[in-house]
Chain A
Amino acid sequence: MEPTAHVSKTALPGVGTRYDLKTDAGAHLSVVVHQDGRRILAFHDPEDDDACKDAAALAPHEATALSKLLVPDPVAHLHQHIEIDLVTEHIPVTKRSPYAGRLLADTQARTRTGASIVAVLRRTAAFPSPTPDFRFAIGDTLVVVGTREGVDAVAELITGG
């Protein structure tokens, strides 16, 4: 079993949420997740644990880049055991899409491509596991999982390419 690190969470009303992590080596880090999507990475002062010695504000794309560097690659780890090659893609339903306003069943996506539409994201809410009678609207984003070829085929169907 791998050891799990303990992260504590504190709400910052009107600002966002703070997550604290104390490493085994004794360093104290905190990450503030701002409501506007920024992340602030702070290192606590060893002399005064209540205060931050350094704080770096990260824009969303910078935070994403940093997280990619920090995450031990779980997919590579999977590859050694199982030959699985799934990709996930977000496919937007645009004005030009032949399926805008039609049902999920009409696409016959799984039968035709082997890839599945596992969720639909709308600006107002997310719909996990949409049923065949789910009606797409312009502006939806479909989350599609499957093989590379399958996902590309779904993208072609939906965008009407």
Chain B
Amino acid sequence: MHDTTALLIELGSIILALGLLGRLAGRIGFSPIPLYLLAGLAFGHGGLLPMNASEEFIATGAEIGVILLLLLLGLEYSASELVTNLKTQYPSGIVDFVLNALPGAVAALILGWGPVAAVALAGVTWISSSGVIAKVLGDLGRLGNRETPVILGVLVIEDLAMAVYLPLLTALLAGLSLAGGSLTLLISLGTVSIVLYVALRHGRLISRAVSSDNPEMLLLVVLGLTLFVAGIAQELQVSAAVGAFLVGIALSGEVAEGAHNLLAPLRDLFAAVFFVFFGLSTDPADIPPVLVPALILAVVTALTKVATGWYAARRAGIGPRGRLRAGGTLVARGEFSIVIAGLAVGVEPRIGPLATAYVLILVIIGPLTARWTEPIGRRFLRTAATPPKEPTLPLEPADTASTPT
């Protein structure tokens, strides 16, 4: 009984603190993610207030948080959107991967953390934060801009790539042999293709099977199905998050909308718990030693994301100013970097503090680069252009080097 009391008090104080922090973040117009991480750091081991009673509950909540994050991401996309994006934007996806995953991998190798940690850190620096970026685009009133579909397209490809990357990472972390790893990858690729096919062809059937007029039943069915599939996926070494993402993609139309509205508050709660949990399991004393590599990595991968955005927007025939805006917007990293780091902490404990510092830097800088890359870049372009020609005049459709799409 006494344990329950302590649990309630600890949990209540954590969630209350998160709520107050979230309000503060909303007032400044910031993403609450960095504040949640900081709160976790403050509460956890070596922090100000060690938590003992609620640790197990928070760990489970964090699992559920990751699953719900990916489920809702899947609900936002329809299978046809994913496939069309993959067809039209795959070169941008490849450039994105090469430019942004490599610095992470190289950094891990330089630090001497070994190949598995390199694969994990590559993921941390590769995936932009869909959540932060979607919010920034709305806040800056850029949803109508021509470069916005390009930005969203890059995000979609990254999210889809996660469905291949996470199983691979899980296999590597589990120390599977090459054969075991390939089998896992084959299973996950097969599952992804089957789910995409079924969702494209028979999405209505699935949605009808799940659909219910009663919100309570819909909530229970969707949540139960997702947790069940996530558990099965984990059992097959495919990673629970990917299972949840696929459930989200398979549901479409009315059901997806209803489920989205019902589950969004749950997602917010458990995702906040997840960020806190990540902060809890990181000792604040470990952060200062990795601060310099995190800073270097943040600067390098911010620039590579700008280059990615520039390339992707140029392919779509967008002028230089739009290209800079696309690049600056893509800089923010967030929830997925933390999800990936959370998986890898078991193998390389130092990846936790590094990822925390890295995400803290970029989630704060991301909205700023989204806003200021274009004006600063324009000034830079203007001084760099030796002939007094205005290099910023758009209205020139795709320039000479860009490939037609």
Binding site for B on A (CB under 8 A): 10-15, 18, 30-32, 34-35, 40, 42, 44, 48-52, 54-55, 122-125, 139
B152/A13 in contact, CB under 8 A: yes
| Bound CA span A40–B144, Å | 8
Q: Is A18 in contact with B213, judged by CB distance below 8 angstroms?
A: no
Which residues 220-276 in B have Cβ within 8 Å of A in the complex? 254-255, 257-258
Please, how many angstroms separate the alpha-carbon atoms of A32 and B257 in the complex?
18
CA distance in complex: A13, B82 (Å)? 8
Asked whether A15 lies within 8 Å of B84 as measured between CB atoms, the reply is: no
Q: With an 8 A cutoff between CB atoms, is B23 at the interface? A: no
Residue contact A14 to B213, C-beta cutoff 8 Å: no
Contact indicator B144/A50 (Cβ below 8 Å): no
| Complex alpha-carbon distance, A150 and B27, angstroms | 54
For B130, the chain A residues whose CB sits under 8 A away are 14
- Cβ contact within 8 Å between A50 and B394: yes
| Chain B residues, Cβ within 8 Å of A31 | 144
Q: Flag whether B322 is at the interface (Cβ < 8 A).
A: yes
Chain A residues near B96 (CB-CB < 8 A): none
Contact status A50-B141, CB under 8 Å: no
Whether the pair A14, B146 counts as a contact (CB closer than 8 A) is no
B139 to chain A, nearest CB (A): 11
- Are A42 and B257 in contact, with the CB atoms below 8 A? no
Are A124 and B213 in contact, with the CB atoms below 8 A? yes
Residue in A13, A34, A51, A122 whose CB lies within 8 Å of B142: A51
Q: Which of A11, A49, A122, A125 contacts B146 (CB 8 A)?
A: A49
Measured between beta carbons, the chain A residues less than 8 angstroms from B76 are 13-14, 35
CA distance A50 to B395 in the complex (A): 8
Tell whether, in the assembled complex, residue B143 and residue A18 are in contact, meaning their CB atoms are under 8 Å apart: yes
Other-chain contact of B149, A18, A40, A42, A51 (Cβ < 8 Å)? A18
Contact among B155, B208, B322 for A48, CB-based, below 8 A: B322
Q: Top 7 A-B pairs ranked by shortest CB distance? A: A42-B144, A50-B322, A55-B141, A50-B146, A30-B144, A14-B76, A13-B81
Q: Closest residue to A139 on the B side, CB-wise?
A: B213
Which interface residue of A12, A13, A34, A122 has the most chain B CB atoms within 10 A? Answer: A13
Are B254 and A40 in touch, CB under 8 angstroms? no
Please tell me if the beta carbons of B144 and A55 are within 8 angstroms of each other in the complex: yes
- The contact size tier of chain B is 35 or more
Does B103 make an interface contact (CB < 8 A)? no
Q: Which residues of A contact B149 (CB under 8 A)?
A: 10-13, 18
Q: In this assembly, does B77 line the interface, its C-beta being within 8 Å of a C-beta of chain A? A: yes
Q: Is B335 an interface residue (CB 8 A)?
A: no
* Contacting residues of chain B (146-161) with chain A, CB-CB under 8 angstroms: 146-149, 152-153, 155-156
Q: Are A52 and B152 in contact (CB under 8 A)?
A: no
Distance, CA A13 to CA B257, complexed state (A): 14
The reply to whether A48 and B394 contact each other, CB–CB distance below 8 Å, is yes
User: Would you call B85 an interface residue if the criterion is a C-beta within 8 Å of the partner chain's C-beta atoms?
Assistant: yes
* 19 pairs, A vs B, C-beta closer than 8 Å: A11-B84, A12-B143, A13-B81, A13-B152, A13-B153, A14-B76, A15-B152, A30-B144, A34-B143, A42-B144, A48-B319, A48-B322, A50-B147, A50-B322, A50-B394, A51-B145, A54-B141, A123-B254, A124-B254
Instruction: Output the least CB separation between B345 and chain A (Å).
Output: 29
What string of 1s and 0s marks CB contacts (under 8 Å) between B321-360 and chain A?
1100100000000000000000000000000000000000
**Closest B residue to A53 using CB positions:** B141
- Chain B: which residue is nearest A14 at the CB level? B76
Q: A18-B149, A35-B257, A51-B146 are in contact. List 15 more A-B contacts (CB 8 A).
A: A10-B149, A11-B81, A13-B155, A14-B77, A15-B137, A18-B143, A32-B144, A49-B146, A50-B325, A51-B145, A55-B143, A122-B213, A124-B208, A124-B211, A124-B255
B200 touches A (CB below 8 Å): no
Q: How far is the CB of B218 from chain A (nearest CB, A)?
A: 10
Say if the beta carbon of B116 comes within 8 Å of chain A.
no
Q: Does B318 contact A (CB under 8 A)?
A: yes
Residues on the A chain within 8 Å of B291, using CB: none
Assembled-state Cα–Cα distance A32/B145 (Å): 10
Does chain A have a CB within 8 A of B134?
Answer: yes
Set of chain B residues within 8 Å of A14, measured between Cβ atoms: 73, 76-77, 81, 130, 134, 152, 155-156
A13/B156 in contact, CB under 8 A: yes
